[in-house]
Amino acid sequence: MSFELTDEQQLTRSSVREFAEADVAPIAAEIDREHRPPLDIVPKLGELGLLGMLVPEEYGGVGMDTVSYCIAIEELSRVCASTAVLVEAHSSLCTWPIVHYGTEEQKQAYLPDLASGAKIGAFGLTEPNAGSDAGNTATTAVRDGDEFILNGQKIFITNGGFADVFVIMARSTDAPGTHGVSAFIVDRDTPGFTIGEPEHKMGIRGSSTVPLFFSDARIPAANLLGQEGKGFNLAMATLDGGRTGIAAQAVGIAQGAFEAAVAYAKERVQFGKPIASLQAIQWMIADMATEIEAGRLLVYQAADLEWRHEPFATHSAMAKLFCAEMATRVAGKAIQIHGGVGYTEAYPVERAYRDAKITEIYEGTNEIQRLVVSRAFLR
């Protein structure tokens, strides 16, 4: 057993960190304040291969291992969680299911543009009455000759405001519960498919979160993704990997907040000396560092299991569960170390705290992660 990253993984960390520091960090506070997705840097993300990380080389991607992918998400999140989730939802939730369930024609048609960043991807599972109960999908897809007609609504769709390609779950058969659901690839310009107003969120304000509406939206039957009636299984398998990505995002957010807290503790003088010399601060720093490291190991373990084609769903749920709560705790302590200024926009830790919270909710609430983990031991 080796805990050492490969040369390639270390290179991923250093190159993504360099890009994140140079191009993402300077805009992170601004896009948060302006509720504006970082669309200006999408071409650069594409150029660097950061939108094709999970796409095999034969379709124009990088074909990166999943640990490297998590490192990249971690490094982006360290400076900007909104940019990281743009990449994560595009990669884990849109390119991944097309790579793994797509026909050769679908892969040829969609993957090269998604990998280069010419197109951005999104994923539509959640509905007003199908949140944690994801199998309660009400959106319908009715077959009509060589088309499906989609009707219904999705909510809270990450990247939805500007994405070009959507993987959408809709009920296409009369089979009960999760069995009637199928997955479809839907193009943004499909007549009858419209995008709603962006949500105003507590955190990840630079991420686009919108509702989607389908009103007699006709898509080619050839855009059925995977087997008909197996869309719920596809969505769950997609989320298994996605959850490791969100756990990596949480580790990155925590790391960024931690580094800010360490720097501040060394520079802030009270009682005639830097507050870093006070045991109250030292203990918080020790707890933060230890928790981040534990979370990081959970992430890399889940990612490594996936890459080696071992069962990993329980581990990805554990990683997300632990890392999400850890990131909220660490960001909270980072604010505490900063004191009053930490509660203002002058320092990045209040943004980290707001951004960390969503990792406890999206891609399955932590209550759902506890359900997934406990089922593995109690079934």
- Assess 83 for contact with ligand COS (CB under 6 A): no
Nearer to ligand COS, 75 or 127 (CB): 127
The count of chain residues that interact with ligand COS, using the rule CB under 6 A, is 19
Q: How far is CA 301 from the centre of its chain?
A: 18
Near ligand COS in 110-129, by CB under 6 A: 125-126
Q: How many Cβ atoms from other residues are within 10 Å of residue 133's Cβ?
A: 12
Least spacing, CB of residue 130 vs ligand COS, in Å: 8
Q: What would the DSSP string read from start to end of 368-379?
A: HHHHHHHHHHH-
Determine which residue in the list 112, 135, 192, 196 makes contact with ligand COS, applying CB under 6 A.
Answer: 135
Binding segment for ligand COS (CB under 6 A), chosen from 51-59, 198-206, 217-225, 366-374, is 366-374
Contact indicator for 324, 366 with CB cutoff of 8 Å: yes
Nearer to ligand COS, 13 or 179 (CB): 179
Amino acid at 27: I
- Assess 163 for contact with ligand COS (CB under 6 A): no
Q: What would the DSSP string read from start to end of 12-26?
A: HHHHHHHHIIIIIHH
- Assess 65 for contact with ligand COS (CB under 6 A): no
Nearer to ligand COS, 32 or 363 (CB): 363
Determine which residue in the list 228, 240, 325, 350 makes contact with ligand COS, applying CB under 6 A.
Answer: 240
Give the containing element (helix H, strand E) for 249: helix 231-267
Q: How many Cβ atoms from other residues are within 10 Å of residue 258's Cβ?
A: 25
| Residue 363 appears among annotated catalytic residues | yes
Determine which residue in the list 233, 277, 336, 366 makes contact with ligand COS, applying CB under 6 A.
Answer: 233
- Assess 368 for contact with ligand COS (CB under 6 A): yes
Spatial neighbors of 307 by CB under 8 A, at least 6 apart, are 65, 66, 67
Beta strands of 136-266 (E only): which ranges?
Answer: 140-144, 147-158, 165-171, 181-187, 193-195, 209-220, 224-225
Contact indicator for 205, 35 with CB cutoff of 8 Å: yes
Determine which residue in the list 6, 10, 108, 132 makes contact with ligand COS, applying CB under 6 A.
Answer: 132
- Assess 227 for contact with ligand COS (CB under 6 A): no
The token pair that represents 269 in the structure block: 């003088």
Near ligand COS in 245-304, by CB under 6 A: none
Q: How far is CA 270 from the centre of its chain?
A: 39
Contact indicator for 208, 158 with CB cutoff of 8 Å: yes
Q: Look at residues 151, 210, 156 and name the one whose alpha carbon lies nearest to residue 186.
A: 151
Binding segment for ligand COS (CB under 6 A), chosen from 181-189, 191-199, 202-210, 364-372, is 364-372
Least spacing, CB of residue 177 vs ligand COS, in Å: 7
Which of 58, 105, 363, 367 is an active site residue?
363
Determine which residue in the list 16, 288, 298, 372 makes contact with ligand COS, applying CB under 6 A.
Answer: 372
Binding segment for ligand COS (CB under 6 A), chosen from 28-36, 39-47, 68-76, 229-237, is 229-237
Binding segment for ligand COS (CB under 6 A), chosen from 112-120, 131-139, 326-334, 335-343, is 131-139
Residues in the chain: 379
Amino acid at 363: E
Spatial neighbors of 14 by CB under 8 A, at least 6 apart, are none
Q: How many Cβ atoms from other residues are within 10 Å of residue 352's Cβ?
A: 31
- Assess 362 for contact with ligand COS (CB under 6 A): yes
End-to-end Cα spacing for the chain: 29
- Assess 153 for contact with ligand COS (CB under 6 A): no
Would you give the DSSP letter of residue 216? E
Rounded-to-integer distance, Cα 368 and Cα 297, Å = 21
Nearer to ligand COS, 186 or 368 (CB): 368
Would you give the DSSP letter of residue 90? I
Least spacing, CB of residue 75 vs ligand COS, in Å: 22
Binding mask 4-43 toward ligand COS (x if CB under 6 A, else -) reads ----------------------------------------
Nearer to ligand COS, 118 or 237 (CB): 237
Residues that are catalytic: 363
Q: Which residues bind ligand COS (CB under 6 A)?
A: 125-126, 132, 134-135, 178, 232-233, 236-237, 239-240, 313, 362-364, 368, 371-372
